[in-house]
Structure 1
Amino acid sequence: MPIHLDAHVFDLPVQELRRGYRSDVYFWREKVTLEHHDLHPDVTMQVFQKKDAVLCGIDEAVAVLKLAAGRYTDYPKAYKLFDKLIDFKSKARQQFIGNHKAYVEAIERKMEVSSQLDELWVSGFEDLKVEALCDGTRIAPWETVMHISGDASLFAHLETVYLGILARRTKIASNVRSVVEAAGGKIVLYFPARFDHWAVQGGDGYAAHIGGAAGVSTDAQAQWWGAKASGTVPHALIAAVGGDTVRAITLFGDTYPDVDLVALVDFDNDSVGTSLKCCEALGDRLWGVRLDTSNTLVDQSILPVMQNFKPTGVTPKLVEMTRRELDKNGFKN
């Protein structure tokens, strides 16, 4: 059953989208040119891409159209109000630390201006016809995924935004699906948050979920479909307790008794040995072990068996050796 997300799920900067603030300027100028000359061509926008992919971002793109397709009744007044909105937004950030009263005042003024902009806005979404495939659909190169039909002046300014949404979400969903299929039934977790900007977590996590990821590492990544983050134990905790992996895992397990306990076992660069120590110390409380050897290091377990394979990082050989030693010592679970 396809997941469908309502417009309120997405934290969209509605006033900025309506004004074209986050669009390529030529799309905004297209809209204004059409309206200035009282031109309202009936068009159909066909959205497609060029690869085999897993579609994602449709509901978010539709939300953009629903909330930001339309026109202002008084453009000069709207321009002035929007500039004030951005100014109060900036002032609020400046006052957040050190002047709480001024911060609250700036937020209140911003909301007042936003309400005034709402009064100038006439929604055009009901005058458009939007047809689209569902998030999670397998799509072929050049296959149409969305049609937007209606007065071009109502939605011309939104092309940058909805295409950008579809491009990013589809790319992530497709890449994750490729990994999930390669994993052959094994659980795939999506943990990229530290390698990208924090603001993209909500949509990226949802796209990973659509792609088949079983879990994500931040609560923000899981918010759109009502889940929570999952994870292991960080290297930083092991370092904070003097480099003692067993102690770090034990402390973590005591603090979070209801969380599946996964030991990070590469801190001493001996993944096999540390895995055994953790299993012996924690027994059935331990849910699993995680190998995370740096791709610039050779785990000492690999040194005696180095042959004609790339020895650095988490190698298939290292995984096989760890699994074999755990099984041999009675930790097949």
Structure 2
Amino acid sequence: MAKKELKTLQDVENFKVDEDRLLYSANHEEIRQGLTTDIYFIKTREILNNLDLAETEVVVDIFTSGAGVLAGVNEVLNLLQEKDVKVWGLQEGSMMEKKEVVLRIEGDYNDFGIFETAMLGALASSSGWATAAANCKEAAAGTPVLCFGSRHLHPAVAPVMERSAIIGGVNGASCILGAKLAEKIPSGTVPHSLILTVGDTLKVAKAYDEIMPDGEPRTILVDTFKDEAEETLRIADELKERLDGVRLDTPSERGGVTPGMVKEIRARLDQAGHDYVNIFVSGGITPDRILKLKDCGVDGFGVGSYISGAEAINMTMDIKKINGEHIAKRGRIPGPTKNNRLKRLL
């Protein structure tokens, strides 16, 4: 049974954190209760109730601080779906301009104002991740890009990030829940830890080929023990046409993956009759590195920290109409900002 929303400071005081709590992240019910909101929205709700202004009808605009790809809209709609509100906005995945109104909400302020913190946060973070992903896809110019950024974030929000990256245009994601939320099949090979544990890349490759389902691409990590070109040919000579590709993830301590390395491996594969083997590159990949590597023979990129560490695109929510009258804080123009791109979403 759903717990009631916070309405008063007494409700806040009465809330106690369970001593056996496993993670510090908020669950869905806690967000819906208002436990992730800023305390001043609870004070606002209590004061409006006491002044008999709880049913004050407002129109609010949510606008963006920067241009990019809009994401997080669906989560906002999910938060508001049981509220008596009307919502207009841009569709998730839309390009947005700086200062553009991306969402408009009409209803009783005291009914939905408690969610301002959560709504703005969802839009800001998700849009930042989606925009970073779009930057990578633009640089890749058609070459597939996967998101590998979950390990750089708290596990509670990692799936949101990887779903946002897919909204931004990447082809897939390694995080199981993130990919599933975007209706994609999780993508990835095996970690260095497996190869280190087994002790030989070729042995891992043969086991991978034997054990994995036929529909699973045979892409093998080749930078763990030996020279990348040498290891690539060992694997290709053994698996032959069953080998889909190799992944290069050379650490920064050894200079990372370079254009010269990719060109050499591509040439050696082709000379040995393995021109069907793809080269997938990961490890510190950014749009700039994609531009330097994409024409050297790379067939796919794995991007992690560039997407997961993207700066949020801040969002602001302003009341622009109260009980039918145009209004705004100083410095802003009263009344809803015109945007013909907004469509009724709820």
Q: TM-score, normalised by structure 2?
A: 0.69
Q: 2:259 aligns with which of 312, 316, 320?
A: 316
Instruction: Count matched residues.
Output: 250
Q: Distance in 2 between matches of 1:15 and 1:220?
A: 19
CA distance in 2, matches of 1:269, 1:208: 33
CA distance in 2, matches of 1:41, 1:274: 69
The 8 Å contact of residues 32 and 79 in structure 2, kept in 1 or not, is answered as no
1:41 aligns with 2:56: yes
In 2, the alpha carbon distance for the partners of 1:319 and 1:42 equals 61
Pick the structure with greater CA Rg: 1
Shift of 1:13: 4.3
Q: Which has the higher helix share?
A: 1
Gaps of 5+ in 1: 1-11, 68-124, 298-311
RMSD between superposed Cα atoms in Å: 1.7
Structure 1 residues 211 and 18, CA, compared in 2 at 3 Å: closer, same or farther?
A: closer
Aligned to 2:79: 64
Post-superposition CA distance 1:235-266 (Å, at most 9, x none): 11111112x11111110121103210101010
Q: Secondary structure at the match of 2:157?
A: helix
Q: Which amino acid aligns with 2:252?
A: N
- Structure 1 CA distance, aligned partners of 2:68 and 2:41? 27
Preserved CA contact (<8 Å) 1:219 1:227? no
Trace 1:80-99 onto structure 2 (pairs within 5 A).
Answer: none
State the distance in 1 between where 2:180 and 2:109 align: 34
2:207 aligned partner: 251
**Residue deviations 1:79-112, cap 9 Å, x none?**
xxxxxxxxxxxxxxxxxxxxxxxxxxxxxxxxxx
Structure 2 distance, partners of 1:18, 1:292, is: 41
Matched, 1:21 2:35: yes
Structure 2: how far apart are the matches of 1:52 and 1:180?
Answer: 16
Q: Which amino acid aligns with 2:262?
A: V
Return the offset for 1:227: 2.8
Task: Quote the sequence identity (%).
Answer: 35
Matching residue of 1:328: 271
Q: Does 1:156 align with 2:113?
A: yes
Distance 2:223 2:143 in 1: 21
- Which residue of structure 1 aligns with residue 96 of structure 2? 139
Query: Per chain length, whose mean CA-contact separation is higher, i.e. which structure has more relative contact order (CA < 8 Å, sep 6+)?
Result: 2
For the 8 Å contact 2:150–2:162, the answer to whether it is kept is no
In the alignment, residue 138 of structure 1 is paired with which amino acid? M
- Counterpart code for 2:210: D
Residue aligning to 1:205: 162
Instruction: Report Cα offsets for 1:14-54 as digits up to 9, x if no partner.
Output: 54234321111112211221112111332222111122201
**CA contact under 8 A between 1:218 and 1:228: conserved in structure 2?**
no
Offset at residue 325 of structure 1 (A): 1.6
Counterpart residue number, 1:217: 174
- Inter-CA distance 212–14: structure 2 relative to 1 (3 Å threshold): closer
Q: 1:205 Cα deviation (Å)?
A: 2.2
Q: Which runs of 4+ in 1 moved over 4 A?
A: 12-15
Mapped contact 2:71–2:127 kept (Cα < 8 A): yes
